[in-house]
Amino acid sequence: MRWLSITAVAALASMTLAVALPAQAQANKKATAGAAPAVPPAVVDYAEKFNTVCAACHGANGRSDMAGVPVLAGNSSLYVITQLFLFREGRRKNEAMIAMAKPMTDADLRGFSDHIGTLTAVPAPAPATPPDAVRMLKAKALAEQHKCTYCHGADLAGGQQVPRIGGQKEDYLRQTLHAFKAGERPGYTRAMTEALSQVLVEDLDLLAFYAANIGNK
């Protein structure tokens, strides 16, 4: 009798599930049908955002005449996204850039850096007078001695995580080199700190002069 009772209960449970499951499936189907369709994320035009947010200082083509503002054109997106990340995290010290980068999402970092990576190098304006040839030769020897060309390339065009410094603004290069030398400028590696540890402070301006004028005859 006990076996029959257990069998009866099992059968009843099976019948209940057989009825309940289709009913629940139908209810789920109705609930799904009544739910609002998922809204795809908005597509952000970072070229337009760059022109709105960045071009006032950096120029629409990545090069402006504003003193102290670096040339962005000709740099890789990988290098740019690293710098934006350092600004966002407050590791690179520049109040204006920290304020701009702090609210950026990871998608923003990628979007801006990908656009900047498409900006082709813009030659520096021709100087009123050609750079001093003797000084350029001395500076070139110094750059080769300290292996600047080993990472940045013979024309200092950079690549990937290495910035383009050939044709960069001389005032910005001077500021950057002195900041690295003083330990005030962080890098994603210690390459620049170690390289400049062997360079005399008085030679930093000469290197900046060379990099800024390497394309000028």
- Please give the mean pLDDT across all residues of the chain: 85
- Contact at 8 Å (CB) between 98 and 90? yes
For the CA atoms of 180, 67, 155, 130, what is the dihedral angle to 10 degrees? Answer: -130
Q: Which of 89, 57, 83 is nearest to 71 (CA)?
A: 57
pLDDT at 198 over 80: yes
- In the chain, the percentage of residues whose pLDDT exceeds 90 is 70
User: Quick one: tokens of 78?
Assistant: 């990988």
Q: Decide: pTM greater than 0.95.
A: no
User: Quick one: tokens of 204?
Assistant: 């930093």
The model's pLDDT over 163-191, given as tens digits with 9 standing for 90+, comes to 999 999 999 999 999 999 999 998 878 88
Q: Residue 134 is which amino acid? A: V
Going along the chain from its start, the domains and CATH numbers come out as 46-116 (1.10.760.10), 133-213 (1.10.760.10)
Q: What are residue 18's DSSP bridge partners? A: none
Ranges of beta strands (E only) in 8-166 are none
